[in-house]
């Protein structure tokens, strides 16, 4: 069974150096704890994640080979370029996309890529998105949730959504730590990252897109979220009850949240190796909307690969989740 991991993180030297500089500003931002640990460690004792993030060749291929993983859909790791000023972010994003594209060209059967863009300047973001599809042949886009505490439902970002729809490429919304307005109860418990805060952040982003009426304007726009749907599938019944058109929330959405979720979203399993949760998602949103992912290098490859191979689910569903849906949604040629 072909295995395509769809949320596999990487970095490039200039972005890592840029994050090291950001870590040294003393800016009070919830992502800085993680950025400090990974990018600003002592030179003689770097965080072990850093070399794994930077290796998009032999070392990574070895781990993939040892575990029967056919392909990584690469993406620039969180917080991407979203903590830099617009000019720095734009220069870095081109560099990162070029480097990812180079490794995809070198190993076309092993790597595919989600291109990044810098939402700080939507006009230039659209240019980079167009370049990434037309010149780099990217498979989709990656964005790390909020940018300067703003979400993509805000009108100034709609050109980005419009471009993704026109280019027929999905936007993967990966987590970063919750935005400033909801920092405090995550900060003191150190739960701003994958343990809890990431899911709250992206779940909120997804709800804002649905209730903001974004998909009424961009009906073909595809959004992908990880971590078994960041709890949104579990919440759909209540979202419909409380977030239906004309209901309490009184948002401009024309359809039910679950209708948007079905038509405009797909999820990945990244970091959630829980067969019961997977079966629930299959029953709730359909096996054709779910893709397998490891969350390399933040989670180990062996248990993620063993889990999907041995999961007691319908074998036809398993083929879709392991590779079929990724091939369709991310334009990856079948093996």
Q: Which of the residues are catalytic?
A: 295
Our finding on whether 295 is near Mn ion (CB under 5 A) is: yes
Q: In this structure, is the dihedral angle defined by the CA atoms of residues 41, 43, 48 and 54, taken in order, positive or negative?
A: positive
In terms of phi and psi (left: phi > 0; alpha: psi -120 to 50; beta: otherwise), the region of 26 is left
List the x/- string, 53-82, binding to ligand 1WB by CB under 6 A. ------------------------xx----
In the complex with ligand 1WB, the residue whose CB is nearer, 143 or 163, is 143
* Contacting range for ligand 1WB; rule: CB under 6 A; set: 64-72, 80-88, 134-142, 191-199: 191-199
Alpha carbon distance 224, 109 (integer Å): 22
Q: Does 191 bind ligand 1WB (CB under 6 A)?
A: no
Task: Give the residue from 175, 177, 252 showing the smallest Cα distance to 209.
Answer: 252
Partner in contact with 193, chosen from ligand 1WB, Mn ion, none, beta carbon below 5 to 8 Å by kind: ligand 1WB
Segment contacting ligand 1WB by CB under 6 A, of 10-18, 133-141, 190-198, 201-209: 190-198
DSSP state of 332: P
- The answer to whether 108 touches 136, Cβ cutoff 8 Å, is no
Choices 58-66, 117-125, 192-200, 243-251; region in contact with ligand 1WB by CB under 6 A: 192-200
Residue 198 interacts with ligand 1WB (CB under 6 A)? Answer: yes
- Separation of alpha carbons 155 and 138, rounded Å: 25
Among 118, 298, 305, 320, contact with ligand 1WB (rule: CB under 6 A)? 298
Site for ligand 1WB in 161-180 (CB under 6 A): 175
Q: CA 189 → CA 195, 319, 323, distances in Å?
A: 11, 39, 37
Q: Which does 192 bind (CB under 5 to 8 A by kind): ligand 1WB, Mn ion, none?
A: none
Nearest residue to 18 via CA among 103, 72, 102, 76: 76
Q: Which is nearer to Mn ion, 7 or 327 (CB)?
A: 7
Q: Which two tokens stand for residue 256?
A: 């039910």
């Amino acid at each position: 069974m072909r295995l395509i991991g769809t949320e596999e993180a990487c970095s490039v030297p200039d972005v890592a150096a840029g994050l090291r500089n950001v870590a040294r500003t003393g800016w009070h931002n919830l992502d800085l704890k993680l950025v400090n640990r990974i990018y600003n460690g002592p030179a003689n004792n770097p965080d072990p994640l850093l070399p794994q993030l930077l290796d998009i060749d032999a070392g990574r291929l070895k781990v993939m080979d040892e575990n029967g993983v056919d392909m990584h859909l690469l993406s620039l790791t969180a917080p991407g370029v979203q903590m830099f000023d617009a000019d720095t972010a734009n220069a870095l994003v081109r560099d990162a996309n070029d480097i990812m594209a180079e490794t995809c060209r070198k190993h076309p059967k092993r790597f595919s890529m989600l291109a990044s863009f810098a939402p700080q300047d939507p006009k230039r973001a659209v240019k980079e998105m167009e370049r990434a599809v037309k010149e780099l042949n990217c498979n989709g886009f990656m964005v790390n949730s909020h940018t300067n505490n703003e979400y993509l439902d805000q009108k100034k970002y709609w050109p980005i959504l419009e471009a993704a729809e026109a280019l027929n490429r999905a936007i993967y919304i990966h987590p970063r730590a919750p935005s400033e307005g909801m920092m405090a109860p995550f900060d003191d418990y150190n739960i701003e990252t994958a343990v809890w805060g990431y899911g709250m952040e992206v779940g909120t982003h997804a709800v804002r897109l649905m209730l903001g009426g974004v998909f009424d304007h961009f009906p073909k726009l595809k959004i992908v979220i990880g971590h078994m749907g960041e709890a949104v599938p579990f919440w759909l019944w209540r979202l419909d009850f409380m977030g239906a058109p004309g209901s309490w929330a009184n948002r401009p959405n024309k359809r039910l949240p679950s209708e948007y979720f079905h038509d405009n979203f797909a999820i990945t399993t990244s970091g959630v190796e829980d067969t019961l949760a997977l079966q629930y998602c299959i029953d709730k949103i359909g096996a054709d909307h779910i893709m397998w992912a490891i969350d390399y290098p933040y989670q180990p490859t062996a248990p993620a690969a063993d889990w999907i191979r041995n999961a007691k689910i319908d074998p036809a569903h398993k083929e879709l989740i392991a590779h079929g849906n990724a091939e369709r949604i991310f334009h990856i040629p079948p093996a």
